[in-house]
Amino acid sequence: MNEFVYLASQSPRRRQLLEQLGVRYELLLPDAGEDSEALEAVKPGEAPAAYVRRVTGLKLDAAVARLARRGLPSAPVLCSDTTVALGRTIYGKPEDGRDAARMLRELSAHTHRVLTAVAVQAGRRRLDALSDSRVTFAALSPAQIRAYVASGEPMGKAGAYAVQGRAAAHIARIDGSYTGIMGLPLHETARLLQAARVRMAA
């Protein structure tokens, strides 16, 4: 039985969600020279589900190499990535406030998908899963978009919003995994960790 996992994510939400499962973790964050943003580039014509699975795999490869390079004790490595998609259009993290406002205008009054891929490397085994949820935004006025962008919350978030934050006031409907939309689907993650023989709270 593995007593802990390495979490290769800078997201405080993913840390909170792992704690909710009662899983002990150590952070395995990129070195100063690593460019994790470069891994998130979208290939031309790439479907959203294929994209988020591929990026998660690349991030996990980088984390496993980081673990070996640092000579740290062996344990499973967990990686996750989230993307927002409207049709086949992929919405990553906004570059700036103007980009965030553009994304929110396009998502306003529409239903979009939130896809979160999770992957665990346990020895030579790689386990993965995909959470696919749908979120419907109410119509957002220009003033509401400006106020939300000014709050700073959209920055660093796929699709320029955080479901657990102020954006919740504008979400009319959710179908799927709330924790998946937050960035770590707990049902799928728990199943992967069980398969990787990671200890969880009873």
CB atoms within 10 A of CB 146: 14
Active-site hit among 81, 96, 128, 132: 81
Cβ 5 vs Cβ 79: under 8 Å: no
For 108, the token pair is 């306003």
d(CA 139, CA 16): 30
In a 13 Å sphere around the CA of 48, the CA atoms on its Cβ side amount to 22
Could you please report the per-residue DSSP string of 64-100?
HHHHHHHTPPP--EEEEEEEEEETTEEE---SSHHHH
> Where do we find the tokens 């992967």?
192
d(CA 16, CA 4): 15
Report which residue type is found at 35. Answer: D
Report which residue type is found at 70. Answer: R
Give yes or no: 81 in active site. yes
- The residues that are catalytic are 81
